[in-house]
Amino acid sequence: MQNVDYKRARHFEVDLSEFRYILDIDKERMIAKVKPLVNMGQVSRATVPLDVAPAVVAELDDLTVGGLINGYGIEGSSHIYGLFSDTVVAYEIVLADGEVVRATKDNDYKDLFYAIPWSQGTLGILVSAEIKLIPIKEYMKLTYKPVVGNLQELGQAYADSFAPRYGDQDNLEKVPDFVEGMIYTATEGVFMTGRYTSKEVTKKKGNVINNVG
Ligand SMILES: Cc1cc2nc3c(=O)[nH]c(=O)nc-3n(C[C@H](O)[C@H](O)[C@H](O)COP(=O)(O)OP(=O)(O)OC[C@H]3O[C@@H](n4cnc5c(N)ncnc54)[C@H](O)[C@@H]3O)c2cc1C
């Protein structure tokens, strides 16, 4: 067996416990500036009452902005906005020599901007991120589509649920705000699409009310 002591000897922890605050929610620029330990629950509770939300909100409340950027973050709106890290417009990073830099896609640190996602903290310590916000409504209308078929048919039904055919892929009228799929057996699944909707629609008879917050 390889001796892995070198990993233990070089284990290096940085206490980021103070880095857990939302610094700014700018509805004009549609950007939230947050510290890396801000988690999904915290950011949702602060933004949803303002009718905005991060473009990609990972499902578990405890997942942090720093972890979703340096690790990996994806969710039901990623068919439109990409990975969590694709929604970041600027990173503030402490480099190995202690210098603090702000990296954006077109400044002197653009190489860092593109290298930070999935870097697992190997390039520096993220101390803040500016993330894109989108306008939202208070409620979500969910549509469940059960599908029975072979693997190819299940795959096609999943693709069809969020990517309409015949050149409509960029038509947001035809693309749902959210998509999620669940496969029960080799031949059975259900695909769920969600659209933000108003309180008035949810009040109509037969609709089940689910508040976004
Ligand atoms: C049960 C479960 C459910 C999940 N569900 C989802 C989901 O719905 N959607 C989704 O997208 N993902 C999901 N994930 C995956 C999760 O998003 C990733 O594992 C994510 O990287 C974890 O984030 P974290 O906040 O726990 O960060 P950590 O695990 O603490 O960190 C992840 C990486 O980022 C580095 N890092 C963290 N903060 C900083 C910083 N400030 N500076 C530099 N480096 C840093 C860490 O060193 C580590 O390498 C799930 C994971 C689990 C265990």
* DSSP H helical ranges for 53-198: 65-70, 78-81, 110-115, 151-162
Lining residues, ligand 1, CB within 6 Å: 16, 36, 58-60, 63-64, 66-68, 70-75, 120-121, 125-126
- Res 4: pLDDT: 63
Confidence of residue 82 (pLDDT cuts 50, 70, 90): very high
Quick: pLDDT tens for 20-63.
Answer: 999 999 999 999 999 999 999 999 999 999 999 999 999 899 99
Q: Name the percent of the chain lying above pLDDT 70.
A: 90
Mean pLDDT of the chain: 90
- Which of 35, 43, 70, 81 gets mutated to test ligand 1 (max ligand atoms within 8 A of its CB)? 70
Residue-wise pLDDT for 132-176, tens only, equals: 999 999 888 899 999 999 999 999 999 999 887 777 777 777 899
> Regarding the domain delimited by 5-135, which CATH topology (the fold level of the hierarchy) does it fall under?
3.30.465
- Which residue(s) pair with 25 in the sheet? 32
181: β partners? 191
Ligand 1: residue whose CA is nearest its atom 46? 120
> Could you tell me which residues are beta bridge partners of residue 92?
102, 128
Ligand 1 test: best mutation among 62, 68, 119, most atoms within 8 Å of CB?
68
| Secondary structure class of 160 (helix, strand, coil) | helix
